[in-house]
Amino acid sequence: MSEAIEAWVGRTLVEKSNVDSEILLRFAAAMGADLDVQAHFPPMGHWALFNHVVGPDKIGPDGHPQRGIFLPPIELPRRMFASSVLTFHSPIEVGKPAELAATVTDLRRRSGRSGELILMDQERKLTQGGHLRLTEVQTIAYREAGDPTPAVVDNGTAGDGELWLPNRVDLFRFSAGTYNSHRIHYDQAYAQQEEGYPDILVHGPFTAAKLCGLAQGLAGKPLTSFSFRAMSPLFVDQPIRLRAGEEPNSVVAVRCDGAVAMSATYEA
């Protein structure tokens, strides 16, 4: 990894915004949460806020903002949301201004199944009224193109749990609700021909938000922490099972071929 890339560690972007109920309502509707966002802040609803906005001339070929604006100019072509660790310090208040400070805290090189990887950690601190409301450390994985991803075959081994069958409209609405323009979530030709997937992908944050809602329901009270790790891709129009995991205070999303696509743990 070059010194030019490593120099991005410590860079911070601070954004200010109002916690708008209409934005949260769209997010809640997209993920199937309670629409009374004033009384029930949607699980992971902060992802609908503080999304870095750039003009059309600053969009990269994958639909994301170009690298080198805030995030480092890593040359590896593929980008994925790998994992996140969240701490909920106090409730976010709807209708009031808030501030998010995002800092690149670490960059490290690894080797994976698809070749070279660079993992980037980004710490995000959301404050409101002078109080820290939420801390999140996201890990983003950048990797080589690698071989095409084989199609997932529904072999009926997903087991029990809540059935979730995200379709193209669901993915469009979640993209809109989070201002996510990554083309793998709506452009089938791009997903297949450029990134080697069999179809468009379900957003990792969409799955994480569904699991967070399940965890909160199992806990029966607001969560104090939630962490998740993406393990296998999920594709549109294929059944997914959301259920409690084998370990205490854990939840999983299981693909139609029986593979665990995402695992998460929580505390309340």
Mean pLDDT, the chain, as a whole number? Answer: 95
Strand order in the sheet with 240-244: 12-18, 97-112, 115-128, 131-143, 78-88, 225-230, 260-267, 250-254, 240-244, 162-164
Residue numbers in the chain where pLDDT is lower than 50: none
pLDDT in tens, 54-102: 999 999 999 999 998 898 999 999 999 999 999 999 999 999 999 999 9
- For 172-185, letters b (16+ CB in 10 Å) and e give ebbbebbebbbbbb
176: containing domain: 3-267
Question: What's the predicted TM-score (pTM) here?
Answer: 0.96
Q: How many domains does the chain have?
A: 1
Q: Distance (Å, rounded) from C-alpha 85 to C-alpha 138?
A: 7
Taking CA atoms, 235 is separated from 89, 130, 147, 190, 258, in Å, by: 33, 41, 17, 14, 14
CATH code: domain of residue 170? 3.10.129.10
Contact 196, 161 (CB under 8 A): no
The confidence score (pLDDT) of residue 111 equals: 82
Instruction: Residue 103: count other Cβ atoms within 10 Å of its Cβ.
Output: 16
